[in-house]
Every structure is written in structure tokens, then in C-alpha cells.
Amino acid sequence: MNTLDIKAKIQVQKPVETVFEAIVDPRHMSGYFIAGGSGRIEEGKELNWTFPEFDINVPVLGARTESPSFVSFYWDAENGKKCLVTMTLEAKGPNDTLVTVTEGSMENNEAGLKWLKGNTEGWANFLACLKAYLEYGINLRKGAFDFMRK
């Protein structure tokens, strides 16, 4: 295996259109994932995300969106490499959506394994926070990573 890819998924008890909007709209994303964003995820659009526990701007480039079933973007990984993140949203009923996140890829080496561990944890957290936000109106991320502030 020469490359490493991340895959995480969760089912959210909300309609696929609601989940799609929660992912592409920074007003929603700031309720569970980012502190702020400069715009919606759209094809070819350059964005900046800030996170509540870090004093950095994360550049994001919208790759492709297909409402309400697909979102993809590029963002920086280790050593300035851009990684493609894709999110597929599959309706499992009128009020159930399976969200699958993939990110890739990195070389299968020590740096790649560190990236795989950290970002797999991050995407699992993203999905749990998305579910809590949409189903219960809770921001699980609030205060959760204050210990990481530099």
C-alpha cells in the first residue's frame, strides 16, 4: 500500500437537504465545526476558515458541489500539500442521511501515518459534532479543544 486515505461515516437523522446546507453554509458550520468562514463552499471559490481553538486561517478551495448529495474541497495538509476532501450524502429515508467523508491521499510513511491518525480523528469528530448540532442543537466542539490553544 503506497498511499493512505481517510474514510469516516455516520448517519444523521435529518433530511439530506438539511445536512447539505449544514456542510456548505458557514453560518451553520460555525455552530459545530469552524469559528467562521468567508463564504459557502462552491466550485472554484477560495475560502478561509478559522477554528475556535487555533489562531490560524485555513485556506479552502471549493472543488465541486452537487446539491444535495456531494461536496468536495481542497485544503492544506502536511508540508503544504493540498488534499481533496469529499463528502457524499445519501438519503436513507425522508429523515435519515448517511454522510461519508474521504480525504486523501498521503504517502505511506511516518508523516503520512501521523496525518492519517490526526485527520481520521478530526473527521470522526466533525461527524459527531454535525450530528449533535443537527439533531439536538448542541455545539460539541465548544470548549472541547481549549487545551490545544497555544
Report the CATH number at residue 43. Answer: 3.30.530.20
Residue 67 maps to a domain: yes
Residue 150 maps to a domain: no
Residue 14 maps to a domain: yes
Q: Which position has the higher pLDDT, 16 or 56?
A: 16
Mean pLDDT for the stretch of residues 56-85: 92
Mean pLDDT for the stretch of residues 15-26: 98
Tell me the β-bridge partners of 98. 11, 90
- Residue 150 scores a pLDDT above 70: no
Give the pLDDT score at 146. 81
Cell of 32: 459545530
pTM: 0.93
**Residue 7 lies in domain:** 3-145
Backbone angles phi, psi at 23, to 5 degrees: -90, -40
Give the pLDDT score at 76. 86
Residue 47 maps to a domain: yes
Confidence of residue 54 (pLDDT cuts 50, 70, 90): confident
Give the pLDDT score at 34. 94
Is the dihedral angle over the CA atoms 120, 121, 123, 127 positive or is it negative? positive
Span between the terminal Cα atoms of the chain, in Å? 36
Domain count, the chain: 1
Closest CA relative to residue 17, chosen from 85, 71, 54: 71
Residue 34 maps to a domain: yes
Residue 21 maps to a domain: yes
Q: What is the mean pLDDT of the chain?
A: 93
- Residue 9 scores a pLDDT above 70: yes
Residue 59 maps to a domain: yes
How does pLDDT run across 69-83, given as a tens digit for each residue? 999 999 987 677 899
- Residue 40 scores a pLDDT above 90: yes
Residue 123 maps to a domain: yes
Name the 3-class secondary structure at 56: strand
- Residue 53 scores a pLDDT above 90: no
